[in-house]
Amino acid sequence: MARMPGATWHPVRNFTKGGQDSVRGVVVHIMAGTLEGSQAWFNNPVAQASSHFGTGKAGALRQWVDTADRAWAQAAGNRTWLSVENEGQGGDTLTDEQLDANAQVLAWAHKTEDVPLRLATGPGDRGLGYHAMGGSEWGGHTSCPGARIVAQLPEIVARAKKLVAGPTKEDTMPTPLDVWAYRNKKQNEAAKKATGKEIPDAYGYLQQVAADNTALRTEVAALRKDIATLTELIKKG
């Protein structure tokens, strides 16, 4: 049995027990529907369809079929490819959260099945693929997941590589504002210990000033719009 950590387990009834012969890679699909609707469909024996994983637009990641078992997502590709159905309609792009979820699946497949972190060029290749690349042997779904999502596949690979590599030195380096906030905190602790009084939080003060300025600019813009409207009414009157 192979269930992905981080994915919520929601088993469905449509699958072939122990039918996953190998894993060449991960195939990206579009649901033409919702996460809940697809899950209900995959539990309907009439559907003759399912997927290993599914993502919601807000980032939910579900596992419907154990990766030791064969999901019914891309016909002749079912025996050798894992599948990810993504909430949405034809012509959509994946949300940022869905890109992350797909990258998590690809990174996990790389760690567990040695799937290469690259774009697959066809059914005989390995890596990250998409439903339409399988042609008629994969059901002839030429619009799944759609050109806009296919264009996002390199970003999924890039994010998967980052997940596998782990945080870089740059990711963990403090920003100048982090340093400023830290120094202000230390100065405040020293002043309170010496005098019993706290010094103003400069960083927090500046953040509040910036927020106040933004609100003021919004109010001024609205006032200018009202003045312009009133001026036009006066001219017409």
| Confidence bin at 235 (pLDDT 50/70/90) | confident
Q: Let me know whether 23 and 107 are in one domain.
A: yes
* Boundary of a domain, candidates 118, 147, 167: 167
Here the tokens at position 14 are: 């449509």
Query: Which amino acid is present at 16?
Result: T
Q: Let me know whether 131 and 211 are in one domain.
A: no
pLDDT, one tens digit per residue, over 37-66 is 999 999 999 999 999 999 999 999 999 999
Q: Where do the DSSP E strands lie in 76-134?
A: 81-86, 127-130
The pTM assigned to this predicted structure is 0.72
Q: Let me know whether 228 and 121 are in one domain.
A: no
pLDDT, one tens digit per residue, over 61-115 is 999 999 999 999 999 999 999 999 999 999 999 999 999 999 999 999 999 999 9
Q: Let me know whether 48 and 74 are in one domain.
A: yes
Look at residue 137 and tell me if it is in a domain: yes
- Angle, helices 153-165 vs 96-113, to 10°: value is 60
The region of weakest confidence among 52-61, 155-164, 207-216 is: 207-216
Q: Is the pLDDT of residue 187 over 70?
A: no
Q: Is the pLDDT of residue 213 over 60?
A: yes
- Who wins on pLDDT, 101 or 235? 101
For residue 156, the enclosing domain spans 8-167
Q: Let me know whether 116 and 191 are in one domain.
A: no
Q: How many CB atoms lie within 10 A of CB 19?
A: 14
Look at residue 65 and tell me if it is in a domain: yes
Look at residue 3 and tell me if it is in a domain: no
Q: Let me know whether 127 and 228 are in one domain.
A: no
Q: Please, what's the largest Cα pairwise distance for the chain?
A: 81
**Tell me, what CATH number does 123's domain have?**
3.40.80.10
> In total, how many domains does the chain have?
2
Q: Let me know whether 95 and 210 are in one domain.
A: no
Pairing of strands 81-86, 25-30: parallel
Q: Let me know whether 155 and 182 are in one domain.
A: no
